[in-house]
Amino acid sequence: MNKLLKVSTVIVLILFFSLFFSRYNNYYENKKVLTDTAIERFEQDLKDGKEIVASNYIEKEKNYNNRISKIGIKTSKLIENTFNKGMKLLMKYIEKLQ
């Protein structure tokens, strides 16, 4: 039983950290405002003297969210909050020991 608890804890921590870092490092989406082709179109329109409208060059954001990614993010947030609460309780306990 004790070994099962340790293994499941390690698995949960690995999942948490992988989701946590992928979320904060924009693994799922690189938020690039202008693509290379949009910059080329912009430069060509400038040369041609066309009217410049910013919305013609900004690409729409793609939504990569699906059920699994939403569940992963919710699980990651739950683990993060639980871990933070556990650490706060541990620190309070350590403070009382001094």
0.85 cut: is pTM over it? Answer: no
CB atoms within 10 A of CB 48: 7
pLDDT digits (tens, 9 = 90+) for 60-87: 766 777 888 888 888 888 998 998 999 9
Nearest to 59 by CA among 31, 84, 33, 79: 33
Identify residue 85 by its one-letter amino acid code.
Answer: K
Task: Dihedral sign for Cα 41, 46, 48, 50, please.
Answer: positive
Q: Cα(8)–Cα(20) distance, rounded to whole angstroms? A: 18
Q: Which residues of the chain have pLDDT under 70?
A: 1, 22-34, 61-62
> How far is the first Cα of the chain from the last one, in angstroms, to the nearest whole number?
33
